[in-house]
């Protein structure tokens, strides 16, 4: 499995939230003129939209946690199978970070 998050999933998430924001704006615009039963209907639509957003966030959070665990296990396995290569990679990354930080 890949350790990188699925780019398509992130793009879909952004599109879904843009759609949610557009829908919320539309609901709020219509709510400005609503009163009585219409206002209750508008509030219910907002509650439903927020509930859907919460469910989606929970699904994405769960998926990302699973992917993070898989990546951590893969990294752990790699380090145990190739300890000297892991030390070399860590040293190289540390060197690059040191160079970048020292230039600022």
What is the CA 88 to chain-centroid distance, rounded? 31
Q: CA-CA distance, 16 to 42, in Å (whole number)?
A: 20
pLDDT in tens, 3-17: 444 555 667 777 777
Residue 86 domain-assigned (yes or no)? yes
pLDDT in tens, 60-95: 888 888 989 999 999 899 889 999 998 998 999 999
Residue 90 domain-assigned (yes or no)? yes
> What's the pLDDT score for residue 44?
81
Q: List the domain range (segments joined by +) for residue 82.
A: 7-103
Residue 61 domain-assigned (yes or no)? yes
Residue 60 domain-assigned (yes or no)? yes
pLDDT in tens, 45-65: 877 877 887 788 888 888 888
Structure tokens at 61: 């959070």
Percent composition of the chain: helix, strand, coil (DSSP 3-state, to 5)? 90, 0, 10
Instruction: Note the pTM of the prediction, 2 decimals.
Output: 0.51
74: CB partners within 8 A, 6+ apart: 1, 3
Q: How confident is the model at residue 1 (pLDDT cuts 50, 70, 90)?
A: very low
Counting the structural domains of the chain, the total is 1
Residue 68 domain-assigned (yes or no)? yes
Residue 59 domain-assigned (yes or no)? yes
The residue-averaged pLDDT of 9-31 equals: 73
- Mean pLDDT of the chain, nearest integer: 79
Q: CA-CA distance, 16 to 21, in Å (whole number)?
A: 9
Residue 1 domain-assigned (yes or no)? no
Residue 63 domain-assigned (yes or no)? yes
């Amino acid at each position: 499995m890949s350790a990188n998050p699925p780019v398509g999933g992130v793009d879909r998430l952004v599109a879904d939230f843009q759609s949610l924001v557009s829908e919320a704006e539309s609901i709020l615009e219509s709510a400005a003129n609503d009163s009585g039963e219409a206002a209750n209907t508008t509030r219910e639509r907002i509650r439903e939209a927020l509930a859907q957003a919460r469910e989606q966030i929970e699904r994405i959070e769960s998926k990302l946690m699973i992917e993070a665990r898989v990546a951590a296990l893969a990294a752990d396995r790699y380090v145990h199978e190739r300890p000297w290569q892991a030390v070399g990679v860590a040293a190289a990354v540390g060197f690059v970070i040191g160079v970048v930080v020292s230039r600022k």
